[in-house]
Amino acid sequence: MRFSINWAKRLPILGWLPHYSVGKLQRDFIAGLTVGLMVIPQGLAYASIAELPPQYGLYSSFMGGFIYCFLGSSKDITQGPTAIMSLMVAMHSADFHSKQSSVNYAIALSFFCGIIWLLMGLFSLGFIVQIMPLPVISGFTSAAAITIGVGQIKHLLGLSNIPREFFPCIIKIFTKIAGTNVWDLTLGLICIFLLELLRYMRPVELPAHYYDSPPTRVQKVSRKFLWILCTARNAIIVFATALVALAYHEKGLTPFTLTGKVEEGLPDFQFPSLKTQDKNTTVTTLDMISDIGSGFIVIPIIGFVENIVIAQAFARKNHYEVDATQELISLGVGNIATSFFSGYPITGSFSRTAVNDMSGAATQMGGVFTGSVVLLALSVFTPFFKYIPKASLSSIIIKAVLRMVDFRIVKRMWQTNKIDLVPFFVTFFSCFYELDIGILCGVLIAMVVFLYRRLVPKIEILGEINGRYHFKLHGGVTYVGIEYLTSKVREKALVNNKSVVIFLECSTMFECDFTVTEGLVQLYHECGDRDTKLIFCDVRKDVKEMLLNAGLPTELFKSDLPEDLSGLLNTPM
């Protein structure tokens, strides 16, 4: 058996690189630089969510772009640390006694999850993501965003020793609120205000007819400067507050709670440590796998959902297609490579992808420039990062995650199909107890809803004329739904012990099993006992044959309804 690889499909760079141009290079450079200025403060901030030293957020921010340039199928998406992925990492790596063991667990997570994603891609298992319906995804995302936001209040208030779990976190904050650092709170609120102001100041491109004359060069430059200022607002806020903290430090004052020492320089290239020391005890690879447990299921699913949803959204916007299998492969290789540089799990980032798109990214080359900016920051600016106030980083996180909370979907589900609200709210509220349990509960409830829709048949009574009842079946009937069908017929037509005729229209009944045939035979005998006639109309040939073999007489089957019944208006039962 000969094994062959479609290199053009598995290496998307071979498709766009031959058509690369100086114009595209310029667009990619601007987009990559802009996203790079955004990912630096986000990387530092998200590391705090993952409960890791700040440099590990930057370690996780460059290899994704380099790998995606070769393997990614979307020109817009940028891969790196995200708020939700950081929270998942904290849940499965930070509950150990020493900081170093937590770091090793986080790096091992990146390595193992990368292998899982890569295997899923090689075996084309992208369809697994379909078990996560939109109500479950939305409920999880909103709950995780609120959990992250609440968890950042401690930094906004300058409090310490606050647990990560949602309810204990709230309780502890209220018990320690008297110890609030007013400087941190003031700085954090100012940062939130400025971030919101800069977001609304972003210039909007107006149609040509709004201008009395073509924009001047000064106007174009001013609009571009304002756009860069608003887009890079996170970096500007972080560096500005760090300068303020540095100025106070030079005077011997430390009014703000600072990030603290950040490891200088680039991370070493090394195989991820798959064993660690915790309280003078050696933790083996198997121990680490056992400790991470459900993380090997939840994190790959959540990471892939996050990545593919973003990629598909921007692909639809810009009229091209993404390959789900290829996204899995790029995600897998990117995470494995990231683990060799001490990074934790990465996936697609919506906010950075949006900026990448708005900046005019032409190809996946933009990720290379983004990664280069991060490497430059690690090489040059890390001594300066220790002066960054935690309140400014928490303000960036709070502003980012609040936009992830989407309750408008509740109204849309209410208007379309109310039953979808059940998995949404089950997921949403369960996630406040534990994210893994919330996802599991949501998926299980969604499956129950799915089975209910598929297994319980929809039956309509189309009318009743002179003791003749017309029932219409929509879809097939399985062993789960036959009792529901027969009970509805009894409820509507066999309640008064009158001699009636029941017409059961089965044109959409495409399958039949033993339990169904036995149920219909039992209904036939029950109708006979009540001097009621049961007629099957429009039955498929294969279904009719099974019913005949089960013992129903041939005269029960008619090809058409009586004319006076066939024109009745639909009235749901």
Q: What is the pLDDT of residues 452-502, one digit of tens each?
A: 777 777 777 765 677 788 888 877 787 778 888 888 888 877 777 677 888
Of the two residues 508 and 34, the one the predictor is more confident about is 34
Boundary-marking domain end, from 402, 423, 445: 402
In a domain, 240, yes or no: yes
pLDDT of residue 569: 39
pLDDT band (50, 70, 90) for residue 204: low
Q: In this structure, are 395 and 471 located in the same domain?
A: no
Of the two residues 377 and 281, the one the predictor is more confident about is 377
11, amino acid identity: L
pLDDT of residue 346: 96
Q: Which two tokens stand for residue 405?
A: 């909370």
Q: In this structure, are 122 and 229 located in the same domain?
A: yes
Of the two residues 568 and 447, the one the predictor is more confident about is 447
Residue 426: partners with Cβ closer than 8 Å, 6 or more residues away? 139, 441, 442, 445
pLDDT of residue 372: 96
> What distance in Å separates the CA atoms of residue 570 and residue 573, rounded to the nearest whole number?
9
Asked whether the predicted pLDDT for residue 125 surpasses 60, the reply is yes
Q: In this structure, are 344 and 491 located in the same domain?
A: no
Most confident of 152-166, 178-192, 290-304, 497-511: 178-192
Asked whether the predicted pLDDT for residue 208 surpasses 60, the reply is no
pLDDT of residue 131: 74
> What distance in Å separates the CA atoms of residue 316 and residue 76, rounded to the nearest whole number?
11
Residue 62: partners with Cβ closer than 8 Å, 6 or more residues away? 341, 370, 371, 372, 374, 375
Share of the chain above pLDDT 90, in %: 42
Q: In this structure, are 176 and 295 located in the same domain?
A: yes
pLDDT tens sequence across 210-257: 555 666 777 778 887 888 788 888 889 999 999 999 999 999 898 999
CATH of the domain at 493: 3.30.750.24
In a domain, 148, yes or no: yes
Helix (H, G, I), strand (E, B) or coil at 508: coil
pLDDT of residue 307: 92
Q: Which single residue is written with the structure tokens 């149920």?
A: 519
pLDDT tens sequence across 131-165: 778 899 899 989 999 999 999 999 999 998 898 88
In a domain, 424, yes or no: no
Q: In this structure, are 129 and 237 located in the same domain?
A: yes
Q: In this structure, are 482 and 394 located in the same domain?
A: no
**Mean pLDDT of all residues in 69-98:** 87
DSSP 82: -
pLDDT of residue 3: 43
Q: In this structure, are 38 and 175 located in the same domain?
A: yes
pLDDT tens sequence across 41-58: 999 999 999 999 999 999
Most confident of 20-29, 199-208, 316-325, 548-557: 20-29
Asked whether the predicted pLDDT for residue 205 surpasses 60, the reply is no
pLDDT of residue 207: 52
**Mean pLDDT of all residues in 20-32:** 92
Asked whether the predicted pLDDT for residue 407 surpasses 50, the reply is yes
Asked whether the predicted pLDDT for residue 88 surpasses 80, the reply is yes
In a domain, 556, yes or no: yes
Q: In this structure, are 463 and 328 located in the same domain?
A: no
| pLDDT, the chain, mean | 86
Please state the separation of Cα 95 from the chain's center in Å: 24
As beta bridge partners, residue 79 has 348
Q: In this structure, are 223 and 330 located in the same domain?
A: yes
As beta bridge partners, residue 347 has 80
Most confident of 224-238, 387-401, 442-456: 387-401
Asked whether the predicted pLDDT for residue 89 surpasses 60, the reply is yes
pLDDT tens sequence across 364-375: 999 999 999 999
In a domain, 420, yes or no: no
Boundary-marking domain end, from 359, 379, 402: 402
**Mean pLDDT of all residues in 23-42:** 92
Asked whether the predicted pLDDT for residue 544 surpasses 70, the reply is yes
Asked whether the predicted pLDDT for residue 66 surpasses 80, the reply is yes
Q: In this structure, are 179 and 46 located in the same domain?
A: yes
Q: In this structure, are 37 and 150 located in the same domain?
A: yes
The lowest-confidence range among 167-181, 427-441, 475-489 is 475-489
In a domain, 122, yes or no: yes
Asked whether the predicted pLDDT for residue 1 surpasses 70, the reply is no
Domain that holds residue 545: 457-572
Asked whether the predicted pLDDT for residue 107 surpasses 50, the reply is yes
**Mean pLDDT of all residues in 7-20:** 86
As beta bridge partners, residue 470 has 463, 503
pLDDT of residue 572: 40
Would you say 66 and 29 are in contact if contact means Cβ atoms under 8 Å apart? no
Asked whether the predicted pLDDT for residue 278 surpasses 80, the reply is no
Tally of structural domains, the chain: 2
DSSP of 195-236, one letter per residue?
A: HHHHHHH---PPPGGG-SSPPPHHHHHHHHHHHHHHHTHHHH
Boundary-marking domain end, from 355, 379, 402: 402
In a domain, 567, yes or no: yes
Q: Which two tokens stand for residue 366?
A: 């933009």
Q: In this structure, are 345 and 490 located in the same domain?
A: no
In a domain, 397, yes or no: yes
Q: Which single residue is written with the structure tokens 């996170």?
A: 234
pLDDT tens sequence across 300-351: 999 998 999 899 889 888 888 888 889 999 999 999 999 999 999 999 998 8
